[in-house]
Structure 1
């Protein structure tokens, strides 16, 4: 991973994470959690000792139960006080450790980043090659899409051509049958038939309109 410059102190410190093998922020969080756990365990022991000493050996009595409740309340307040104070100190300690201890100097490089420093031109050529490959891939995808569109259009044209050939065959067969029966010129007769069909369609349309109006 390449070294990142001019990052704020609140950054993830990715280069430091790669260098140390752990996240500095995670390390600090574990330290804080360990302190909280230790503080909780110590205060429990202190609470038991205080109750035992103040009860003067009178175990199980009402005075001991009252002392235990009072000790638990004092213990809770003490824990809250110590956690607030430690949190303030921890923020200062965290800033100091992250900036002074868990940081990698600018002159330190990881082994995998050393070739980038020794051969920067290779890195630039590699980046340029990656850019060229990306452009070629986009051009190839565009050509594939264009080819698919042309193939789809060609299939449609083949289907239309097939339908036209079928119509032409039907007309030729009709013309042959017409001539065989001796019905005169086929083209003139066909034109007359089409005119008759158009007239019939118009008459049928008028009849349907009149029928609807009468209802």
Structure 2
């Protein structure tokens, strides 16, 4: 069998020419074996008509195998010539012939160096694309964070609006003055709380002396 891979022919036919030839060889060989068995059965049938014959079935089988070996050798020799002819003339695509899907290579030829340059450019573009995708994802995350911050700001503004409304209801229209008032009130409450704690501590000490 041929050792030439014949990849281009396999692309065109959809199978390797060597595989095709191997299947033909096996089919012919199987047919030869079957024919030898048929011939052997016919000889044995004819032998039954000669009861005085000294030829045994074993001798017939041995002669059949010998003849089969002879026929197989001749068949292999003829098939080798047939295979060479078919692979060179029938199942072979000439070097100057291009398949339809490869016509573009004829229209736009390029060298190995040009191909490597194009491959490098493609790799670079893929890297840039990945960087842009990552930047886009980061931007989307930042936008989501800004939306959350904006929502918090809106809540704060609503709180200030409510506070300003409460101040107006209590006669204070200036928000700055309201904060100053709240600060003073808070300081007074802290002073009162400290005074209460001091009195509580003095009372506890007094109770301890009484006991």
The 4+ residue runs of structure 1 with deviation greater than 3 A are: 63-66, 121-127, 131-138
CA contact (8 A) 1:55 1:67 kept: no
Q: Does 1:73 align with 2:62?
A: yes
Q: Does 1:111 align with 2:61?
A: no
Residues 23 and 97 (structure 1), Cα distance of their counterparts in 2 relative to 1, 3 Å cut = same
Residues 71 and 19 (structure 1), Cα distance of their counterparts in 2 relative to 1, 3 Å cut = same
1:130-141 aligned within 5 A: 130-133=119-122
Among 5, 8, 11, the residue aligned to 1:12: 5
Alpha-carbon deviation of 1:137? 8.9
What does residue 44 of structure 2 align with? 51
Structure with larger Rg: 2
Q: Does 1:24 align with 2:17?
A: yes
- TM-score, with length taken from structure 1: 0.51
Measure the CA separation in 2 of the matches of 1:47 and 1:65: 17
Measure the CA separation in 2 of the matches of 1:75 and 1:110: 49
Q: Can you list the C-alpha shifts for 1:131-158, whole angstroms capped at 9, x where unaligned?
A: 34558999xxxxxxxxxxxxxxxxxxxx
Residues 121 and 13 (structure 1), Cα distance of their counterparts in 2 relative to 1, 3 Å cut = closer
Number of residues paired by the alignment?
126
Corresponding residue SS for 1:120 = coil
Measure the CA separation in 2 of the matches of 1:100 and 1:45: 35
What does residue 212 of structure 1 align with? none
CA contact (8 A) 1:47 1:71 kept: yes
What does residue 181 of structure 1 align with? none
Could you list the runs of 5+ residues in structure 1 that have no partner in the other structure?
1-8, 139-215
Alpha-carbon deviation of 1:106? 2.7
1:94-109 aligned within 5 A: 94-109=83-98
Residues 122 and 64 (structure 1), Cα distance of their counterparts in 2 relative to 1, 3 Å cut = same
Measure the CA separation in 1 of the matches of 2:100 and 2:19: 24
CA contact (8 A) 1:16 1:23 kept: yes
Measure the CA separation in 2 of the matches of 1:117 and 1:132: 22
CA contact (8 A) 1:16 1:102 kept: yes
